[in-house]
Chain A
């Protein structure tokens, strides 16, 4: 079932790998992108292999991942979201091979041009190609968004697990601390933190990833509270298995569903936050192309070239929209408890 789509994808990957080989060694950026893409292809191959094996051995037994896939597939929105995300991820990894121009290349003779054959979405105030910049902007937005979400997830999950599992005082302490943390308006805190730490990619990732751990910790804590009373956990405890192992082996795997759902939904929020910070001049710094700053400079040229604001704005919208669609679908498919 699922493997059919994956094989098509694999075929596409292999073809792309062959065609872009000539460009791969042009510079470091290209080489890294090429290697990441090769790794992705390899992973895809393994996945297909695994799915096939499980399908062959017990075709009658419905595994959870199979079930989830079936549920998810029925949800047209989620599939739509997933497809957009896959396309965006492909675009952002393959950016160096797709971009018709260097996103940094300026051309003072061709500033603020309307779309043409040479520049599909026109050019900006530096004469840079908007299409290439948008692609590169998606790459950066996704990269930062993913990193921040991973950090955010790790932190939130960790706190939620500890609070839920140990309960009592630890729980109280952690939850109160998070509550206090959360009562500072988050955008203010982000601005203050960036002002204190300075602008830069790393700081940006750090700041957005610590500003929203509340939701994570809360949800994970409540599912841990439920799991804690499950028979197998109690049994493990009686057997004297250390807490750390119980948490990692028995509790964490059962929290994966809400974690994935929340993380998916959070990516969108993070990308919006980063765009907001860029709008205030605190996000990604030029000359690196970033959707948020493209949008805010596009506003200065709203009557000269609408493309300058529409393209980055739509890209942000598309990314966030796709992740929200998928997140909603995953929530329905994975976890009914989370539907609030």
Chain B
């Protein structure tokens, strides 16, 4: 039988129910980046399960350069007023005051995101002190477990945001899965060694070894631009997807948003995926991650 989430190491029973429980409600859904109330309404109308409120989508942050920060509260409030689905917003890695502000604004979930410019090179936000659930990015199992140990109630693979290129999301999801698989059947000493390597308590590693999954929902983000990309990440094991620049940087956002929602619901049905992929106009233009200078990549931010 599937291991129950009723007890997760490091989480109180109340945190499991209300924080992880909230994230469970988003499974099978598409979370869309939006920069104003109008986009938020288009996303909700298309069937988005939540929206991420931000001032610039990742591809624009990439283009503009400079320091990317938490959004203006006025923008977040306008988006909260426009839709009935959950509203998320991003804080810089380690910027716990931005997180305090988002909690005061009653956002439903805080994304401690590598897309914004990190504020602390040593510590991520200590997420346990917050009542609001946090989502954090990861590139592999160790990074995922460190974030969960800090209190993240949801993990998303980082991918490389703002590129329209799914290759990094795939790399990170495969790394996460093979990390989980590698724990199977390990004895106590081997698990303890892994816990040391990952810098997390052995109880957390043992939980994952036994359950063969993360104790929090595992979503995917970064570079998803088409219905097929979304279904690819779902087939690789994501439980929901974040789509950033992919929707509102395409030629027909409403149709593309609906198509991605349909693709996630039918991720194992190629005929439905063919229908969802038909006649969507031009996707966002993509970037080749291989030719991108290391300093311009978002995913290595965080540790």
Q: Do A and B come from one complex?
A: no
